[in-house]
Amino acid sequence: MAKEKKIQDNSLLYNFVRMIVDFNARRSYRRFEVHGRENLPKDGALIFGINHSNTLMDALVVLATSQHKKVFMARGDIFANPKVAEFLKFARILPLFRIRNGVAAVRNNTDSIEQAVDVVHDKVGLYLFPEGRHRTKHSLLRLSKGIFHIALDSNREFGKEQPIYIVPVGIEYGDYFRFRSTCMVNFGEAINVTDFINNSTEENEAVLMNQLRDMLGERISKLITYIPDDEDYDAIWEIVKMKNIKRAGGLYKKMLRNRDTVEKVLQYREAHPEEAKELFSKVKKFSENRVKNKISVTSTAKKRPLINFIWKSLLALIGFPYFVASTVVNAIAWVPTLIIKSKLKDKAFSNTVCFGSKLLIAPLVFIIGTIVMFCNLPWYWALVGAVALFFSYDIWYDYLELVRRLVSDIRWAFNGKLRKEYRSLGLNRLF
């Protein structure tokens, strides 16, 4: 009898597809950084718990962090269609049902958890989003227990052979809704589940899972810009953006500066609750006026607006012919993308749609365009054209972002009332 194929078994087709997907995932961001690889244990089986803030892109950027085998678990309701379920299995994704899917559906978790434990046993990384659903916030929802069930089952089954670890992972985006923003994936200090169980006097499994849940939530929160999800969240995040808009030193150092600002703001709120309440109200009003006037938060940080205006204008002028050409040749990709994005109920899927276009349509544009050029132009001009065409889809988005910020800078420069309102906040003095 033939051995039943495991979801983690080698597949040449999967490896080929994944190579293309990883390449496009990394190039979906102007800047893509991975930190904390040194925190990954080398002596045991790894289960990864990741914050979930940007739909499918969360899984794609984690997948692209290394070439190691990875198996993911996703909410069970997306497996309802048999053909979709077959594709998800090919993509190495296992279903995990929640009580909201119905009692009958939850019973299917037994098989999924058994497969997940087998994945962990084979030292293949198992990746879960324990929040259960995405949310575009620098915060965390209460973690579900699925990841801890798998960790404890794995420890019972083969914890004496090798230690079981839960590795916290934090994903930080420059923007949740703009394609070609920035992305940082940050691996944190692993939780040695085997040692935790062996050293615990607690026998109640539910209590153990709650303790592990608190530990994992705390460790993930240290890997991102974490803001408590309360009534002041929006005001605090606006302050953080205005204070730390520059990326000097890379994304990791920017995240550390963000965290430092959050801590200072929270300390100020605790020490001066009434003043903080008044400040947050002013910040919210400023934010509403800024958005109403279509001014980017990046414009508020300009100390030399004239210099910024000049170099951005020159760059926009020089790149305009390339942008026009890119607009024409990539119309078959960006037109349907914009149409689909305009109909989205959940705008968090915007980057996923752009990624899909980049993955499926942009390569066809490149291949067809390259063939046409080599058939009609001298080889050296065709080669130059092919290189320009290869980067055209990404640079098209980058140019739009450049123009957006340039227009925003102009609006900021001529909006004296809003600049006066910004100065009255006194953020540099307070934080």
pLDDT digits (tens, 9 = 90+) for 37-49: 999 999 999 999 9
Task: State the DSSP code for 226.
Answer: -
Mean pLDDT of 94-105: 69
For 49, list phi and psi in degrees, rounded to 5.
-110, 120
The pLDDT score that the predictor gives to residue 40 is 97
Structure-model confidence comparison of residues 165 and 309, the more confident one = 165
Euclidean distance between CA atoms 329 and 362, whole angstroms: 10
* Whether 141 contacts 221, CB under 8 Å: no
Which range has the worst mean pLDDT, 141-145, 301-305, 325-329? 301-305
* Whether 427 contacts 243, CB under 8 Å: yes
- How many CB atoms are closer than 10 A to CB 86? 11
What DSSP string runs through 153-214?
HHHHHHTTTS-EEEEEEEEEES-SSSTT-EEEEEE-PPEEHHHHHHT-----HHHHHHHHHH
Euclidean distance between CA atoms 210 and 190, whole angstroms: 17
**What is the overall mean pLDDT for the chain?**
93
The β-bridge partners of 87 are none
The pLDDT score that the predictor gives to residue 321 is 96
379-413 vs 305-329: helix axis angle to the nearest 10?
Answer: 140
Fold of 12-221: Glycerol-3-phosphate (1)-acyltransferase (3.40.1130)
Of 196, 117, 109, the residue nearest 153 (C-alpha)? 117
Which range has the worst mean pLDDT, 71-85, 181-195, 281-295? 71-85
191-192/164-173 β-pairing: antiparallel
Which range has the worst mean pLDDT, 239-253, 271-285, 309-323, 363-377? 239-253
SS3 93: strand
pLDDT tops 50 at residue 1: no
End-to-end Cα distance, the chain: 69
Domain boundaries along the sequence of the chain: 12-221, 233-293, 305-414
Of 49, 59, 51, the residue nearest 21 (C-alpha)? 59
The pLDDT score that the predictor gives to residue 105 is 59
The pLDDT score that the predictor gives to residue 394 is 96
What DSSP string runs through 277-298?
HHHHHHHHHHHHHHHHTT--GG
Exposed e or buried b per residue across 417-427, where buried means at least 16 C-beta atoms within 10 angstroms of its C-beta: ebbeebeebeb
What pLDDT digit, counting tens, does each position of 324-376 carry? Answer: 999 999 999 999 999 999 999 999 999 999 999 999 999 999 999 999 999 99
